[in-house]
A and B are shown apart, each in its own frame.
Chain A
Amino acid sequence: MSAPAIEILGLTKDYPVGFWRPKMRRSLDNLSFEVREGEVFGFLGPNGAGKTTTMKLLMGLIFPTSGTARIRGRSIDDIGMHTEIGYLPEQPYFYDYLTARELLNYYAQFSNYSASERRERVEKNLERVGLSAAGDVQLRNFSKGMLQRVGIAQAILHDPPVVILDEPMSGLDPVGRREVRDIILDLRKQGRTVFFSTHILSDAEMLCDRVAVLASGKLQGVGAPREVVTLQAQAMEILIETREGRALPAALAGQSTRIGPRTRITVPEQQLYSVLEELRGCEARILSVSPVHPTLEDYFFTLVGGSAPQRGLEEISR
């Protein structure tokens, strides 16, 4: 059996806070999970949950207080492992005096390609992120969305088997988000592993084979989006058509929404049968009855309980 694409083993990160007599604050607490080869894996959590810290630890930009991680079986301390990963930092910023074409050519030089191979890859990836026409524009003139796309292009420039994207949809308009989603799906089709963080939960629901949810530096759950969502359906949605001249009972009117000739009523699950009785009484035609499934968003808010992310951070006295 091949090694997992990413294996995180008890990663913990403490940061000193304060100048005089700094106290240590834990931003990541004994994090362990793995990302399998070829899957699109979403890393979910609110701002300050520890997603970026985890990714920076994987990339060797910061060092763990304890624990370790492996990418495709190789330690994250092994620089050679970086040939196998592509990384998009959060809110990427690049050398703004370079053009997009020059920047990609610069990064391609670290992958030992010949000049002609570099040119070919640069053009291919500029086209892939829709920036061919803007290739000779200096990055200081790029919008946030265009910078994000350059960031994705540099991350996948050398066709890495593992792609780590920190908030790839952040700052993008709906068209840009869709393009990034398409790129991620395309990468999966090519058999690459994509590990991306987001707090836009609908993106994760749409793209991910599995997700991990992080809150206050602690892992809350790992699994398929539907497995992770453990909330029970708590409401039912009834779609009806009322007969002419027959009004809905006053008690239901407040819970209903009129959509053309139809009416949608959302009621608590335990009231379903009594409401159906009432509807039969007023000769309404019942078109459908369906449970309202909680979304990852609902799960997410239930999980963090609406608390500020910092609240759960533990202070460790030394």
Chain B
Amino acid sequence: MSATIGPVAVNTFREAVRDRVLYNLVLFALLMIGAAILVGQVSIGIEQLVIVNLGLTAISLFGLVMSIFIGVGLVYKEIERRTLYSLLAKPIHRWQFLVGKYAGLLLTLGVNTAFMTLGLAAAFFFVGGRVARADVSILVAIYFILLEFALVTALALFFSCFSSPMLSTLFTLGIYITGVFANDIHEVGEFTQNAAVLWLTRAIYFVIPNFHNLNAIAAAGHKEAIPLSLIWQNTLYAVLYATLLLIAAAAVFSRRNLK
């Protein structure tokens, strides 16, 4: 099985690298250098907080843009350019192709995030940061960001199996934004007296992936400890949800006529 998924994943990673996707790292590095110099001059006592907040937000935003914009084209591009035809003539199942593409983009995002983490660390030390036990929450926040990428990429891949990149982007972005406010939407529903609104907000809360719980940037900035139970819970949630999305994507894609 991995003999077929692995090459597809590596090829997807290679495509991203050769298409200069990782050039965004240069922009990130410039942003962090600029921020570190500026923060050192204008903020007193909260340099590390600002750098950590800014760095994690940038890591999250850069990765999200990549996972959505590359994710929605993962399958669509292969069909449009007909590169998929000769590949599917080999002994490879369509679901293996999907999982390979998914793994390849996650690998790209992982490498990208690793480099950005190094950039954040450099800026952190530049503004006088010292590693303390509480700073482990920064790494946990980055881990949650990776889980967020895994979910968003699965969403984008799912939509790319049956719709155009523009529609897939709209759907993925729409669900992401709704998911960020999942807890607020739920609370609004609980306050309302309207049964239909309550039903709707609960449905959104339970069906749409909850991205709110994956955001630990504020906690990391304030060096708050993140409970181990939350780490397990988020991991399980992201893995299960992404798996369900991949199964749905495979179900749709396995019967699709390639034009």
Contacts and interface: CB of A to CB of B under 8 A. Distances in A.
A107 B90 contact: yes
Interface stretch (B10-18, B57-65, B156-164): B10-18
Interface string B78-90: 0001110111111
B130 interface: no
Contact of A89 (B3, B82, B90, B93): B82
A79 interface: yes
A161 to B, nearest CB: 14
Interface size band for A: 20 to 34
Interface residues of B, number: 24
Contacts of B85: 56, 59, 61, 87, 89, 92
A110 B257 contact: no
Contacts of B18: 97
A151 B83 CA distance: 11
**B contacts with A: majority SS:** helix
B89 A85 contact: yes
B82 A93 contact: yes
A104 to B, nearest CB: 11
Interface string B235-251: 00000000000000000
A69 interface: no
A193 to B, nearest CB: 15
A87 B86 contact: yes
A178 to B, nearest CB: 24
A79 B91 contact: yes
B255 interface: yes
Given A82-B89, A87-B89, A112-B3, A93 B257 contact: no
Contacts of A61: 85, 88, 257-258
Contact of B86 (A56, A94, A97, A111): A94
A142 interface: no
Contact of A97 (B7, B19, B82): B19
Given A60-B88, A82-B89, A93 B83 contact: yes
Interface string A193-235: 0000000000000000000000000000000000000000000
Interface string B1-38: 00110110001001100110000000000000000000
A91 B89 CA distance: 15
B212 to A, nearest CB: 38
Interface in A51-104: 56, 59-63, 79-80, 82-83, 85-89, 91-95, 97-98
Interface in A127-156: 151, 154-155
Given A95-B15, A95-B83, A59 B255 contact: no
Given A82-B92, A97-B18, 15 more contacts: A59-B88, A59-B89, A62-B257, A63-B255, A83-B91, A87-B89, A88-B86, A89-B86, A92-B85, A95-B15, A95-B83, A97-B14, A109-B6, A112-B3, A155-B89
